Structure 1
Amino acid sequence: MNIKVGTASWTDPTLIACKRFYPPGCTSAEARLRFYASQFSLVEVDSSYYAMPSASNSALWAARTPEDFIFNIKAFRLFTGHQIDPKKLPKDIQAALPASDKKNLYYKDTPGDVLKELWRRYLDALQPLKDAGKLGAVHFQFAPWIVNNKEGRAHVEHCADVMEGHTVAAESRHKSWFAAESAASTLAIERDRGLVNVVVDEPQGPSNSIPSVWEVTNGRLALIRLHGRNHETWNIKDASAASSRFNYDYNDGELSELATLILDISRAVDQTHVVLNNNFEDQGQRNAKTLMSILGVNAIPR
């Protein structure tokens, strides 16, 4: 079957703290990844969103996982339009930035030569996974203020240009992209650029949520990300852990309904990736295993 199911991250602090997924004594970075990869054949790396990834880590990940294991990598937050504290950038990059009293740095305010170097390092960091045949989608989760206007569309196309040669998945976080009058044009852009339309399951209503659009825009891959349906926490402020936002436990009925849609879309693509992003404690891992059972996906297709 061409469906892989996994979770967003394997090292979320709440997952480790709950002590329900990893067996006793499984405490090192290597041991946790090896155990995770014995249960699932797909994972989404979210650390690459918060900080620049490294080629050395990618090489270790490739070496510590089975041949058929796949990593979907989140794009670095600066590339997706999110703000970043310049102090979180590499020291030499910090030194190359112009003096500023602003707390946060945005893509539009970053010098071109710095951006070029950051993109170069990012692509270099992905190369060991690509060489090993273990790089899936590079997932761009665009900021809520990247809206469907001339500037927003230009930025999405710019990212597609820079990432040419990679499978790029695009997830919008502003409702303007899939409003009734714009959904068809958004899908047309994705098809024209070969971007994978990310099908989401998430709370509906806020301006930073979009509907579930079960459409294929790249015949190689369908990507479904299940964020949970917790309206109360979707825009939570000052949470102790980022995963608190996705505190939701899918019930079997909800997963069965999703499984029917997943099976339908999987027939139109070469591969289907399903990522459980309800990563509070072990909710994602439990729900992923239940979903695999419903779908008839072998947990360890070795």
Structure 2
Amino acid sequence: MGEILVGTCSWTDRALIGSGWYPAGRRDPEGRLRHYAEQFPVVEVDSTYYALPSSRTSRLWAERTPNGFVFDVKAFSLLTGHPTRRAAMPDGLPPEPRDAKVLDEVWALFTEGIEPLRAAGRLGSVLFQLPPWFRPGKRAGEFLQECVERTAGWPVSVEFRHPGWWRAEWADATRALLSRYGMTAVAVDMTQTLPTSVPPVTPVTSPRLSVVRFHGRSSDWGTGTKEDRFRHDYDEDELADWLPRLRGLARQVDEVHVLFNNCCGAAAVRAAERMRRLLGAARGAGARPTEAAGEP
């Protein structure tokens, strides 16, 4: 039976910091991460989607967390085909994903930035969250093959935002494609009321890892403000409905990461705490013993 690790998709979200979840004396960057890592065994780093990570920062993250704690790192926007701010690009490079020299440099900098986590054994997965216009087809397969070549030796997970990938006519081919490349398929929980809703399927494509991301069930998904899109408090019944699927995944893989992305105030940490309790009632899942980490 694989281990189920529960956490959230950010520990630095502005709304979380302002919610009062972090106690007095633990509200500086180091204190926040140390406090978070005392509560949960995994976190997703979303800041690396918006800006390239630095190796110094990654090294500090590893030093400030206990042994066994893992980081799932979100791939930089340019590497996933998303629009990228010019200000986020290094040395004034244009945000042009079709320029081979630009791509090579960005890949090299991203690789350098996450290397301390990988070297310390703290890299749970690199998440490639692909845009909603990334449809099934030949060009998509070529893109994924290039990702495989550039990420050799990394644990990689893939979240499709276009629902066609997991609809009946493509689901088997999608599963086979990710399995062939050794990539983890990311399952999602989100509202099912929109044409763009991704079905909540739980395919296993790697024996090492499964990832489930809970986006909330707001009908404003894809529109409105961030608060509108992610404003959802998971209740116990909604979470309990996932327990058989999570345990089913744990029977097939070494580790399951359950990550809450409903980052509106403290909603994500509340949901993670609730899910951990539900899982723990059966088998003590969702947490690891903490161990003091050295100061940077």
Equivalent position of 1:24 in the other structure: 24
Once residues 298 and 272 of structure 1 are traced to their aligned partners in structure 2, the CA distance between those partners, rounded to angstroms, is 9
Give the aligned residue type for 1:224. Answer: V
Secondary structure of 1:181's aligned partner? helix
Contact 1:42-1:69 at 8 Å conserved across structures? yes
Of 166, 178, 181 in structure 2, the residue corresponding to residue 178 of structure 1 is 166
**Structure 2 letter corresponding to 1:27:** R
Correspondence for 1:153: 141
Please state whether the residue corresponding to 2:158 is helix, strand or coil.
strand
Equivalent runs, 1:15-164 vs 2, <5 Å: 15-19=16-20, 21-90=21-90, 92=91, 94=92, 96-97=93-94, 105-108=95-98, 111-164=99-152
* Match in the other structure for 1:294: 278
| Partner in structure 2 of residue 100 of structure 1 | none
Match of 2:14 in 1: 13
Shift of 1:204: 2.0
Q: Does 1:250 align with 2:238?
A: no
1:205 shift after superposition: 4.4
Instruction: Give how far 1:207 is off.
Output: 4.4
Q: How does the TM-score come out when normalised to structure 1? A: 0.91
Greater than 6 Å deviation, 4+ residue runs: none
String of CA shifts for 1:180-236, please: whole Å, max 9, x gaps: 2111101110000001010111112434431111121000001111111111x2022
SS of the equivalent of 1:133 reads: coil
Structure 2 vs 1, CA of residues 167 and 298 (structure 1 numbering), >3 Å: closer, same or farther? closer
Percent identical:
40
Query: Hey, what does 1:102 align to over in structure 2?
Result: none
Distance in 2 (CA, whole Å) between partners of 1:278 and 1:193 is 30
Q: Cα–Cα, structure 1 residues 291 and 44, in superposed 2: closer, same or farther, change >3 Å? A: same
Structural RMSD (CA) = 1.4
Q: Secondary structure at the match of 1:68?
A: coil
- Out of 185, 208, 226, the position equivalent to 1:197 is 185
Aligned residues: 285
SS of structure 1 residue aligned to 2:78: coil
Instruction: Report the Cα distance in structure 2 between the residues aligned to 1:186 and 1:269, rounded to whole angstroms.
Output: 18
| Distance in structure 1 (CA, Å) of the matches to 2:286 and 2:4 | 10
Give, as a single letter, the amino acid of the residue that structure 2 aligns with 1:234.
W
> In the TM superposition, what is the alpha-carbon distance from 1:149 to its structure 2 partner?
1.9
Counterpart code for 2:133: W
Q: Gaps (5+ residues) in structure 2?
A: 291-296
Gaps of 5+ in 1: 98-104
Shift in alpha-carbon separation, 1:38–1:280, aligned structure 2, 3 A:
same
Say which SS state the counterpart of residue 260 (structure 1) adopts.
helix
